[in-house]
C-alpha cells in the first residue's frame, strides 16, 4: 500500500477531525471524544472525564491554528486513514509529570497516540507514520525521540504503539516503559 503523509495544519484539520468522528473506537467508545487532547492538557483526571467532545474539538482546533498541536496524517487515495500525535515533549504536560526531569528538553520529541482507520489496521500505517516522524524530527535538529508503549491485552488499545515497532527502529529501553531513539547525526 502506498501512503502519503502530511503534517497536521489548519488546511487538513478537518481530515483529522473526520478520523475521530468516523466511529473508529468500538473497542473504547470514549476515545472518539478525545481529539488527542488528553496528554496536552493538565486538568485533573476528574475534570478531563467531564470534558465534552465539543470542548476537546474546539481545544484541538485552537491548538492546531496556534501551532501548538503537532502530528502527522496518513492518506491513501486522498482519504485520511491514520494519525500520529507527535511533538516536542514539552507540549505534553500530563506526560511531563510522569517523566524524570532529564527528559524535559525542547529537542526531545514524543510520539504518543496512533489512530488508524479500522480497515487500515495491521497494514503498516502506524509504522509509516513513525518512520516519517523520525525523519522529520531528526532532520529538524531534535536530539532524541521518546515512546511510552503499553502492552494492552486488546490489540486496538495499544494506541501508543508496540514496543517491537520502536525497537525495530533502534529505540532502546532506558527505563521501564521508556524507549528512546537518539539522533546519531547529533553525536558526530
Per residue in 132-147, pLDDT tens?
Answer: 999 999 999 999 999 9
Q: Is the pLDDT of residue 130 over 90?
A: yes
Sequence-separated contacts (24+) of 90-96 with Cβ below 8 Å: 91/40, 92/39, 92/40, 93/39, 93/40, 93/41, 93/42, 94/38, 94/39, 94/40, 94/41, 94/42, 95/39, 95/148
What pTM does this model have?
Answer: 0.89
Say what the pLDDT of residue 3 is.
Answer: 85
35 touches 20 (CB < 8 A): yes
Choice among 54-63, 166-175, 176-185 with the minimum mean pLDDT: 176-185
pLDDT band, very low/low/confident/very high, at 152 (cuts 50, 70, 90)? low
Alpha helices in the chain (DSSP H): 13-21, 45-50, 53-66, 93-96, 125-139, 163-167
pLDDT band, very low/low/confident/very high, at 118 (cuts 50, 70, 90)? confident
More reliable by pLDDT, 4 or 159: 4
Q: Is the pLDDT of residue 184 over 80?
A: no
pLDDT band, very low/low/confident/very high, at 120 (cuts 50, 70, 90)? confident
Which whole number is the average pLDDT over 38-61?
Answer: 90
> Could you give all domains of the chain from N- to C-terminal order, each with its CATH number?
4-187 (3.40.630.30)
Interatomic CA distance for residues 30 and 23, integer angstroms: 10
Extract the C-alpha cell encoding 184: 546519531
- Mapped onto helix, strand or coil, the DSSP state of residue 73 is strand
87 touches 71 (CB < 8 A): yes
Say what the pLDDT of residue 55 is.
Answer: 93
Q: What is the pLDDT of residues 21-45, one digit of tens each?
A: 775 555 455 556 788 898 999 889 8
Say what the pLDDT of residue 150 is.
Answer: 75
158: Cβ contacts below 8 Å, ≥ 6 apart: 149, 150, 151, 152
- With CA atoms as reference, report the closest residue to 25 among 157, 160, 124: 157
DSSP state, 173? E
Q: Is the pLDDT of residue 66 over 90?
A: yes
Amino acid at each position: 500500500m502506498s501512503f502519503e503523509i502530511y503534517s497536521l495544519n489548519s488546511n487538513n484539520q478537518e481530515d483529522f477531525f473526520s478520523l475521530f468522528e468516523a466511529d473508529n473506537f468500538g473497542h473504547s467508545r470514549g476515545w472518539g471524544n478525545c481529539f488527542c487532547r488528553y496528554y496536552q492538557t493538565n486538568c485533573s483526571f476528574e475534570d478531563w472525564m467531564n470534558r465534552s467532545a465539543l470542548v476537546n474539538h474546539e481545544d484541538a482546533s485552537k491548538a492546531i491554528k496556534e501551532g501548538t498541536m503537532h502530528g502527522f496524517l496518513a492518506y491513501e487515495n486522498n482519504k485520511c486513514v491514520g494519525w500520529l500525535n507527535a511533538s516536542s515533549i514539552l507540549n505534553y504536560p500530563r506526560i511531563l509529570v510522569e517523566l524524570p526531569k532529564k527528559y524535559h528538553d525542547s529537542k526531545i520529541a514524543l510520539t504518543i497516540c496512533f489512530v488508524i482507520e479500522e480497515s487500515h489496521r495491521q497494514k503498516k500505517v502506524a509504522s509509516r507514520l513513525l518512520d516519517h516522524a523520525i525523519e522529520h524530527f531528526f532532520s529538524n535538529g531534535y536530539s532524541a525521540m521518546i515512546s511510552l508503549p503499553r502492552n494492552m491485552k486488546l490489540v486496538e488499545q495499544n494506541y501508543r504503539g508496540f514496543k517491537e515497532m520502536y525497537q525495530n527502529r533502534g529505540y532502546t529501553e532506558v527505563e521501564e516503559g521508556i524507549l528512546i531513539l537518539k539522533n546519531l547525526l547529533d553525536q558526530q
